[in-house]
């Protein structure tokens, strides 16, 4: 139990609203477990948690980081360019 309480992925050591000065619209999406293009990787992690896997693809725009979330119920993938979500698969 003590280890779980110390896990920064489970609990914040400071007020996240003060630490991250994001719009209320962004916070509403995070709280609802939603992601949208334009979000950064921290915002997506707060909304959806850690991905099952991360891979990299090269496109004409540059190196795209692909985060995969999924289980037998379905797989979702997100594409990031320079730390910003640009595509939801």
Distance CA(45)–CA(3), nearest Å, equals 20
Query: What pTM was estimated for this model as a whole?
Result: 0.82
Helix (H) or strand (E) holding 17: helix 16-19
Sequential DSSP letters for 39-65: -BHHHHHHHH-S-SEEEEEEETTEEEE
Question: What is the tens place of the pLDDT at every residue in 34-81?
Answer: 999 999 999 999 999 999 999 999 989 899 999 999 876 789 999 999
SS3 content of the chain, % helix, strand, coil (to 5): 30, 35, 35
């Amino acid at each position: 139990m003590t280890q779980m309480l110390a896990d920064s992925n489970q609990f914040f050591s400071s007020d996240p609203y003060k630490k991250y000065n994001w719009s209320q619209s962004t916070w509403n999406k995070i709280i609802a477990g939603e992601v949208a293009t334009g979000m950064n990787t921290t915002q997506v992690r707060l909304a959806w948690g850690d991905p099952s896997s991360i891979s990299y693809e090269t496109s004409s725009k540059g190196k795209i980081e692909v985060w995969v979330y999924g289980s037998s119920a379905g797989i979702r993938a997100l594409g990031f360019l320079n730390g910003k979500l640009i595509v939801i698969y």
